[in-house]
Amino acid sequence: MSHKVLVIEDEPTLSRLLSYNLSQEGYDVTVCDHGGEGLQAAIQRSYDLIMLDIMLPGINGFEVLGKLRQNGVKTPVIILTARTAEEEVVQGLKHGADDYITKPFGVAELLARVSAVLRRSGHTIPTQAESQDKVITAGDLSIYPERYEVILAGEQVPLRPKEFEVLLYLIQRPGMVITRDDLMNVVWGFDYIGGQRTVDVHVSSLRKKLELGANSVCIESIRGVGYKLVMPKKIGAG
């Protein structure tokens, strides 16, 4: 059965682009061009993923996302935001978005983000064959770099792509103090226009998810500098 995707986007050219490319990949796509209409559709019907623009007629994307979470709708949400709008990214993540895509974006990035969010939301545990993949372990934490997956105490942790990349960068440098600028340049790129708040928001969210494990890594804040990852025990690789 194909995954059902709800696209809430009022710009006709972009909504057609999203609908066409997702449909070509086998997704069952529904498009709404109004905030209120999209909210009603998301509450009344079941979807596997919602792609949500911020600037919408009626009610904006933040309001839609907030009301969805208030109504107990846990459907993964990818927000669509302008490349220079860091505040939109931060606010969207705080409202419960699972990931974001900055405009303009390529088809390859779109499909990769959609696939990654759907995979993470499935909460699947690696099979015996999959367990042969390269893995980094630290206490009850297992990280699969090639699959962007994290298992903590036997349960899959739903990380956003940037959260995963931050964790991977830190765990490969245990005990080292990593500056916010280092993380920004490595994870977001040297040409990223946004500020360091984006890093802090992602680390804060990552910490909360890692706290679920009794024997997990700890990310310490180094005031005025950045972060340091503390290992529960010696790192292992397989």
Q: Where are the strands (E) in 110-200, listed by range?
A: 136-138, 141-144, 149-152, 155-156, 177-179
First to last CA, the chain: 34
Q: What domains are there in the chain, each with its CATH number?
A: 4-121 (3.40.50.2300), 130-237 (1.10.10.10)
59-78 confidence digits (pLDDT tens): 999 999 999 998 889 899 99
- For residues 33 and 45, give the distance between their C-alpha atoms in angstroms, rounded to a whole number: 17
94-145 confidence digits (pLDDT tens): 888 888 888 877 787 888 888 888 887 763 334 444 445 588 988 888 998 8
CA-wise closest residue to 27 among 54, 55, 48: 48
CA-wise closest residue to 147 among 162, 170, 164, 166: 164
More confident residue, 8 or 120: 8
